[in-house]
Amino acid sequence: MSRPNPKTTKRRSEAPSQSETIDPVWLAKAIGLTLIVAFICGYLALCFLFYHGQWQIVLHPARTAAAPPSIEGAAFEVIHFAPGGDAIPKLTGWWIPAAPEGRHRDATVLFLPAGDGSLADSMPTLGLLHTLGINVFAFDYRGYGQSAKGHPSQLRMTEDADSAWQYLTQSRGVPAEHIVLYGTGVGASLATHLAVSHAAVPALILDSPNADLLDTVRRDPRSRFLPAGLLFHEAFPLTKALQTLRTPKLLIAGRNISSPMAAAFRSAAEPKTSAGIDDAEKTPDAQILLPFLNRYLSQSATSARGVH
């Protein structure tokens, strides 16, 4: 049996142990790259969430459990109708008939509410319109009031406005030339959309419309540091359509009219009438609507008896 060579053993024990070391520069670069990738992914995730949830910044729907007993003392009929080609009624509206002796009982106002609350919040305006002796049809968009659940959007609300038009003209047989469009808030954009699509519409009323929703979004803290101009699609466009629309228009400025909206209406095509832009507090709604509607309906050659 051979004995180990003591010199060899000593050399082996004296040989330094070699361990692998990580370059700190490389480690710093790897950590930095990881943080950058994580930041980009997080930022893109925020953009994605903003894109799909931006409606919550400009639209604030509210649900209601039941219809009121009356509209400012006026009797009405609850209507259920379907959006688009859907066979299932998902939209709920109110038909407020004019009194038999109403001065404008052959005409109908299609009321398009704002994007806040529900139709119940518009009852004072609906009651005022009813006192003019005119039929009124108003409805809640999907996601509002008693209409079907689901979050609203410009696309869905545009479809709902078109469905309300179809209900009036087809189901109730109201001639297009007898329908006055009334839009408030974002509903003004939807009313303008209908007026552009249906040249027979005799008059368009814009009550405190929104003209620059992108500016509203940019002021919201949830959109801070995000490219809102690239991602925002719930714009409810209005200004460009007004510049070419030849339908007679009335702007009811109200107390919250914005400078962009006032400027937009001043650039709108004729014929147009405005009330309240310079001194809204001295122009009550009744003093605006009554003379305008009476003048229009009295002069309209297409107004006929016995439509409804």
pLDDT digits (tens, 9 = 90+) for 116-142: 999 999 999 999 889 888 999 999 999
How far is Cα 247 from Cα 268, in angstroms, rounded to an integer?
11
pLDDT digits (tens, 9 = 90+) for 142-199: 999 999 999 999 999 999 999 999 999 999 999 999 999 999 999 999 999 999 999 9
Bridge-based pairing of strands 77-81 and 116-117 is unpaired
Higher pLDDT, 306 or 272: 272
Please tell me the predicted confidence (pLDDT) of residue 305: 38
State both tokens at 84. 């688009």
Asked if 71 and 127 count as a contact pair (C-beta separation under 8 A), the reply is yes
How far is Cα 122 from Cα 138, in angstroms, rounded to an integer?
9
Asked if 72 and 127 count as a contact pair (C-beta separation under 8 A), the reply is yes
Query: Please, how many CA atoms are within 13 Å of residue 107, restricted to the half-sphere of its CB?
Result: 29
Which of 92, 87, 37, 43 lies closest to 63 in space, CA to CA?
92
Please tell me the predicted confidence (pLDDT) of residue 148: 95
Phi-psi region at 96: left, alpha or beta (left = phi > 0; alpha = psi -120 to 50):
beta
Q: What CATH class is the domain 56-299?
A: alpha beta
How far is Cα 138 from Cα 148, in angstroms, rounded to an integer?
16
Q: Which residue has the tokens 């699509």?
A: 197
Q: Over range 201-226, report the average pLDDT.
A: 84
pLDDT digits (tens, 9 = 90+) for 15-48: 555 566 777 888 888 888 999 999 899 888 888 8
E strand or H helix at 137:
strand 134-140
Burial-class residue 94 by CB neighbours within 10 Å (0-12, 13-18, 19+): buried
Q: Over range 228-244, report the average pLDDT.
A: 90
pLDDT tier at 280, thresholds 50, 70, 90:
very low
Higher pLDDT, 30 or 294: 30
State both tokens at 12. 């082996």
Bridge-based pairing of strands 77-81 and 91-96 is antiparallel
* Residue 297 main-chain phi, psi, to 5 deg: -70, -30
Asked if 256 and 277 count as a contact pair (C-beta separation under 8 A), the reply is no
